[in-house]
Amino acid sequence: MTAARTVAVQTSDQGSVTMSEPSWCVGHAGHPVDALVDLGHRSAEYPLGRPADPVGIALVSQYPHGNGPREIGLFVEQAALAITLSPGAVRELAADYETAAAQLRRLADWVHILKAGEPQ
């Protein structure tokens, strides 16, 4: 069993805040925060569909001091797509969405496991 990780993050409203950091969090260096409610955890981003041309991205996130839901969840962002496609390109896009659906199901299973391990 590994020791719990902690991280200290500077906020404008609460000063330095030390909090536990889940193993799936990639860190806080690239995500500066202003207020405590903006301090959260994020996993790596997972492209949905083809990695070179994803139809979206997904990542695990949690904002324990946020104004909304505080539990672990899956943040999903769809790529902006507004183009006219040929029948072949539509079939490729449909295949990308099928791949993305399978990826989302696996990520949902992972989030379910993470949530089951949270202290009650």
Residue 54 domain-assigned (yes or no): yes
Does residue 108 belong to any structural domain of this protein? yes
Distance CA 13, CA 66 (A): 14
Q: Is 21 strand, coil or helix?
A: strand
Q: What are phi and psi of 66, to 5 degrees?
A: -75, 170
- Range of the structural domain that residue 75 is part of: 37-116
pLDDT at residue number 8: 87
Assess whether pLDDT exceeds 90 at residue 16. Answer: no
> How many percent of the chain have pLDDT more than 70?
92
Among 18, 37, 29, which residue's Cα sits nearest to residue 4? 18
**pTM, whole model, 2 decimals?**
0.83
Residue 49 has pLDDT above 80, yes or no: yes
pLDDT digits (tens, 9 = 90+) for 64-88: 988 888 899 999 999 988 999 999 9
In sign, the C-alpha dihedral spanning 44, 78, 107, 114 is: positive
Number of domains forming the structure of the chain: 1
Q: What is the mean pLDDT of residues 34-48?
A: 92
The answer to the question of residue 9 being in a domain is no
What pLDDT, on a 0 to 100 scale, did the predictor assign at position 1?
A: 43
pLDDT higher than 60, residue 2 = no
